[in-house]
Amino acid sequence: MTATSWRGRCVAAAVGLLVAQGCVIRYGEQPESLAAPPEAQGPRPVDFAPYERKLAQLVDEAEVVDSRDRLELAWQLAEQFREADPAAQHVVADYLDRMMEIEVRANPVSAPMQTRVLSTGFGGAAAVDSTELAGPEPLPEPPDEPVVDLLDPMEMEAEPDGEGEVVAVDEGPDVDALLAESARMLESDKTAEAMSVLEACRGLVCWDGVEAAWNDARDRQVFIEKEALAVRLLELRGEPEVEVQRAGLLEIQGALSTLRATWPGTIHQDDLDEHIRRVQKELELLPEEGE
């Protein structure tokens, strides 16, 4: 008997046995015994509805802006993976579990939660009333007691001194009298004396009334000293001795620098800078020793 006829007989016997047992094998299908077990067919899809409800609750509870932003992003992530591959869904679900656990520890519930409508910007889910999940309302905090600075005269206004009296605010000297005296000094070009008169209001309420006059006296003082140094510079140009001229220029340069540092807010600041540059140029033009 040939090998081909032997194989044909074996196939015919197997088919006959299956027919005798009532088994029908359809084209393209496998017997039940050959089907893959359920665990080999991949993970089951994840239902993200509970995650979205929990995230909505945590968003309502969050008081820190950064925490609320992280929770809302996680909420969007849960919505985006509703129809994703089950394997990817399980990875996202594990991440959301850990993330929500951390946020709950970092932001414990301390006040009733508000109702959050998920349909606003997050895919059209139904509203979640989270007030039933909240604890009792916290007790109101007592109002802060005002802090009085004893060194600030404005803070002491209308504050009792402990004996039923009211501490009056020291407004300082009479502003009109100070301004009149300062103007009289300025008429005689006594700028330093005029500034000294107005200094009586320094640090007091009356300073606002004399500050403009003090600034004007300061600017006039700077102008007078600057012009005196300019005259001295012109005189040095006629000095025949180079070393005398050099020493005089260095002295003028130092005086101008001191004037600029002493009165930084003066309107003549730019003029002082220009005078300093001019003196420096004069020094550079002087011949060196021995020439």
166 pairs with which residues across the strands? 160
Mean pLDDT by 10 residues, the chain (291 residues): 45 42 45 50 86 90 86 89 88 90 76 44 44 53 63 52 55 85 89 89 89 92 91 87 89 92 91 91 81 56
pLDDT score for 62: 84
In the structure encoding, which two tokens stand for residue 286, read together? 């002087």
In the structure encoding, which two tokens stand for residue 222, read together? 């700077």
pLDDT score for 237: 82
C-alpha–C-alpha distance, residues 283 and 117, integer Å: 79
Per this entry, what is the length of the chain? Answer: 291
C-alpha–C-alpha distance, residues 50 and 75, integer Å: 11
pTM here? Answer: 0.42
Amino acid at 195: M
pLDDT score for 38: 54
Closest CA to 123 of 92, 80, 86, 89: 80
Residues 6+ apart with CB under 8 A from 16: none
C-alpha–C-alpha distance, residues 171 and 168, integer Å: 9
pLDDT score for 214: 92
* Count of Cβ atoms closer than 10 Å to residue 248 Cβ: 19
pLDDT score for 188: 86
